[in-house]
Amino acid sequence: MRLTSKFIVSREGEKMRRVYLDYSATTPTKKEVLDAMMPYFTEVFGNPSSIHGFGREAKKIVNESRATIASLMNADEKEFFFTAGGTESDNWAVKGAAKALKNKGNHIITSKIEHHGILHTCETLEKEGFEVTYLEVDEFGRISLEDLKAAIKPETILISIMYANNEIGTVQPVKEIGSIAKENGVLFHTDAVQAFGNFKIDVKDMNIDLMSISSHKIYGPKGIGGLYIRKGVRLQNFVDGGAQERKKRAGTENVPGIVGFAKAAEIAYRDFDAHIEKLTTLRERLRNGIMETIDYAKYNGHPEERHPGNVHVAFEFIEGEALLLSLDMVGVAGSSGSACTSGSLDPSHVLMSIGLTHEIAHGSLRLTIGDFTTEEDVDYVVKELKGIVARLRMMSPLYDKVTGGK
Ligand code: PLP
């Protein structure tokens, strides 16, 4: 099933629209990206560590790709390292900094709404004797800069606060966090997996020391990501082995993946203005369509400081899984939150942190728009969603009680 073919034929022989609104989980690889990758599977297939011509050709493209991505965040090419994705970058940044700086201190500050790539990493470090402060967030999902300042102590070695939240889309005051970290001589890591390609990021201007990014969120291939490490920052290696990535991250480079990642990043910033304009327009159309036609719905995340493609709504008197399955039956792909927590019955830690009750959090739906979304897609989703919510609520005794059966 190709994403570009917008219709599928159902079992009953009817044509049904198919709408993918889960771009924060992953994106399709763009044709331009795939085309750029292809020669690196079959023609330029050498191992970049080999000294012969095949190897040298591969090494050249790896370094050109590194320079492309680094320049898009205003970093030097020597400051950017390829990894196997956002999760590895998060693990490397936090564990690597903690271990390199353990003689200086054992305290890390993060937030309660980070991706599990950070939260579970912090939990592992706590078992090893590190102390972690998990900052609260407000109802929109933002940390307080005053809380951050108050949490810093002489033992603090690292602040890790995400750029844009993967569930509710809220963007943190990254530049201000960077200034606070710098003033206090503490390293600042940001998980920018949802932000890179959707925001203009200048690591120097924002005082970012470490930054995780991932290719498959920006129309590049899966299994490739990167970590920006500011010059002078010491990190313990996360993957030991050969001398790849200037002896910091061992393992034969995923050359086609690296090429695809760089191409995707280049396209993201080449077409940046049109991409943002399109996503925000469709996001507002979707948001308004839902909020104006469905009652007992709560729009989550920050009203302005948010990911351009993120719509997050919690519907009262509804069970999120039932909602997702019903949407799937009419060809609509959404999410209940983080792709990594779906399948679990626990309400999302992000929704709990912004103060939603368990009942409301369970009725939540994340719809994320991307470059292939159309106005017709959005209108179709609004129409179908309205009918599905009404149907599911007919089965809710609580809804009946609250509305008096109207
Ligand atoms: N961090 C955030 C904020 C994410 O949204 C994700 C993926 O959903 C990750 C990290 C993990 O990235 P990857 O899938 O490349 O491991």
pLDDT tens for the chain, 406 residues long, are: 445 457 766 666 777 899 999 999 999 999 999 999 999 999 999 999 999 999 999 999 999 999 999 999 999 999 999 999 999 999 999 999 999 999 999 999 999 999 999 999 999 999 999 999 999 999 999 999 999 999 999 999 999 999 999 999 999 999 999 999 999 999 999 999 999 999 999 999 999 999 999 999 999 999 999 999 999 999 999 999 999 999 999 999 999 999 999 999 999 999 999 999 999 999 999 999 999 999 999 999 999 999 999 999 999 999 999 999 999 999 999 998 643 344 556 789 999 999 999 889 999 999 999 999 999 999 999 999 999 999 999 988 788 788 876 6
Alpha carbon of 214 to ligand 1 centroid (Å): 7
Confirm if 330 and 314 have CB atoms less than 8 A apart: no
Integer Cα distance of 387 and 179 in angstroms: 48
The strand pair at 156-160 and 187-191 is best described as: parallel
The length of the chain, given as a count of residues = 406
Q: How far is the CA of 358 from the centre of ligand 1 (A)?
A: 24
Q: Which residue's CA is the closest to the ligand 1 atom numbered 13?
A: 86
Residue of 145, 250, 340, 402 with catalytic role: 340
For 141, phi then psi, to 5°, come to 95, 20
Q: What is the DSSP string of 349-364?
A: HHHHHTT--HHHHHTE
3-state secondary structure of 294: coil
Residues with Cβ within 8 Å of residue 164, at least 6 apart in sequence: 170, 171, 172, 192, 194, 195, 198, 199, 306, 307, 310
- Residue 283 is predicted with a pLDDT of 98
Beta strands in 276-390 (DSSP E): 297-299, 310-315, 332-333, 364-368
- Pocket lining: 301 vs ligand 1, CB cutoff 6 Å: no
For 139, the 3-state DSSP assignment is coil
Structure confidence at residue 404 (pLDDT): 74
Mutate to test the pocket of ligand 1, among 22, 166, 218, 341 (most ligand atoms within 8 A of CB): 166
Q: Is 371 in the pocket of ligand 1 (CB under 6 A)?
A: no
Residue 232's pLDDT is what? 97
- How far is residue 198's CA from residue 175's CA, in Å, rounded to a whole number? 16
Region of residue 249 (left: phi > 0; alpha: psi -120 to 50; beta: else): beta
Q: What is the pLDDT of residue 9?
A: 64
340 is catalytic: yes
| Ligand 1 atom at minimum distance from 25 CA | 8
Tell me how far apart the alpha carbons of residues 195 and 276 are, in angstroms, rounded to a whole number: 12
Counting from 1 in the atom list of ligand 1, the atom nearest the Cα of 214 is 15
pLDDT of residue 342: 47
Q: Which ligand 1 atom is the nearest neighbour of the CA of 339? A: 8
Tokens at residue 155, please? 């033992």
Q: How many CB atoms lie within 10 A of CB 380?
A: 19
Query: Is residue 222 lining ligand 1, measured as CB closer than 6 Å?
Result: no
